[in-house]
Amino acid sequence: MLSLEFFPLGEIIHGSDKEKFILSELKEKFGGSLHTIKTKEWVIENFELYVNGKKVNGSLLPYTSGYVKGKVGKEIRYYEMPPHPFMVKDLYDKAVAEGYKGVIFFDQGKLRRISVGSKIPAVFSEVPLKDGDEVEIYSKSYLRENESYNLEVEAIPGEDYIVIGAHVDHWLSGYHDNLFSLDIIEGLKVELKHHGLKFLFFSSEEGPRCCNGSFQHKKDNTFIMISLDALFPNRVVFSATPDLFQFSQFFNVKRIEMPTPFSDHFSYVLEGYPAMVLYNDDLIPWYHSDKDLPLNEDKVYLKEIIQGLRKMLEKTDNVTKEELDKIFFDYAKQQGFEIKERKGSIIPLGLTSTFKKLQ
């Protein structure tokens, strides 16, 4: 299994040599062609965290850097992990606005990497802290201009293509986000008659901005795009343009929603293609942490996802672009939106998206 083959490599930072190594290994296995993209590699030259004079394990938050010494409650702001990972940045920004010199998060001993910016040093600590604790953070990191690759594999020739994509970079252990998705692509076998099939392995989904690799990839001849990202036993969030909602029947669905902006399908959505991501926010307790590890349930879940995808592909193989467009425009009209074309008709709204109102 590809996930277990690559898991010992540890963290795969966007734009790094390890990311390019994985992509080269995937090319050896699947063939295909590498497409150069521009990205930035986050380089951590030094990081140490001390609490009351004792070195403790911690993780530096992207893309912070610098030295700070002070006491919790005075120079250092301390937070328990909020309910959702995306709230970490809000707390960081609040600490900056309040004049703190550093920020420490604690999450029951888990270490995480969640992008917050670069104004003051911020870390996750393996140990809890209290007011008055003395803290020192030594860190030096920077973003380095670099190039990496997307790997495109034509699995079944066609005039247009169902595209299945997964990113290969990940923070910390990263098993379900996103090594597990490589096993899905590896195990997927299907026969199609009316559309071709491509696999895309993306660079730089995690940063320096979301989905950097997929935004740069050419999308000509795409019929449908399916992103596999942060899947976790034993169900899925079906996050899709509404013309694809009908295909949720093939999965154990937690909920159906308009497309989230936070995966590699969304650049396709913005360009007007039918697109979706399968993910599962049941992963949140382990998201971007050092505890995102293989589980016993993964084997059965893998089979279920592959089976669902196969059934979906067999069904979509008999669907035309015109049929999907009619469903898309009819749905928008039912929701009270008059749109003239697909491209640019959907815009981000929080964790999902909505139709754009005509001016």
Taking only the tens place, the pLDDT of each residue in 173-189 is 999 999 999 999 999 99
Per-residue pLDDT tens for 239-274?
999 999 999 999 999 999 999 999 999 999 999 999
Q: Which CATH class is domain 2-40+146-355?
A: alpha beta
Structure letter (DSSP) for residue 130: -
For the chain, give the number of residues. 359
Residue span(s) of the chain under CATH 3.40.630.10 come to 2-40+146-355
Per-residue pLDDT tens for 36-93?
999 999 999 999 999 999 999 999 999 999 999 999 999 999 999 999 999 999 999 9
Prediction pTM value: 0.97
CA-wise closest residue to 47 among 38, 56, 39, 35: 56
Q: Are 210 and 177 in contact (CB under 8 A)?
A: no
Measured over the CA atoms of residue 229, residue 232, residue 234 and residue 238, the dihedral's sign is negative
Task: Give the whole-angstrom CA distance, residue 196 versus residue 327.
Answer: 22
Res 279 pLDDT > 80: yes
Task: Give the whole-angstrom CA distance, residue 209 versus residue 117.
Answer: 11
Q: What is the pLDDT of residue 357?
A: 86
Res 359 pLDDT > 70: no
> Which CATH architecture describes the domain 45-143?
3-Layer(bba) Sandwich (3.50)
Which amino acid, one-letter code, is at 41?
E
CA-wise closest residue to 187 among 97, 104, 298, 290: 298
How many other C-beta atoms are found inside a 10 Å radius of the C-beta of residue 303? 12
DSSP 167-185: E--BSTT-IIIIIHHHHHH
Q: What is the mean pLDDT of residues 298-323?
A: 98
Q: Are 223 and 162 in contact (CB under 8 A)?
A: yes
SS3 353: strand
Structure letter (DSSP) for residue 284: G
Measured over the CA atoms of residue 155, residue 156, residue 157 and residue 161, the dihedral's sign is negative
Res 230 pLDDT > 60: yes
Q: What is the mean pLDDT of residues 124-138?
A: 98
Task: Give the whole-angstrom CA distance, residue 95 versus residue 97.
Answer: 5
Q: What is the mean pLDDT of the chain?
A: 97
Q: What is the pLDDT of residue 103?
A: 98
Residue span(s) of the chain under CATH 3.50.30.30 come to 45-143
Half-sphere exposure of 10 (CA within 13 A, CB side): 2
Per-residue pLDDT tens for 142-166?
999 999 999 999 999 999 999 999 9
Which pair of structure tokens corresponds to residue 243? 């013309």
Q: What is the pLDDT of residue 209?
A: 92
- Percentage of the residues of the chain whose pLDDT score is greater than 90: 99
- What pLDDT band is residue 358 in, cutting at 50, 70 and 90? confident
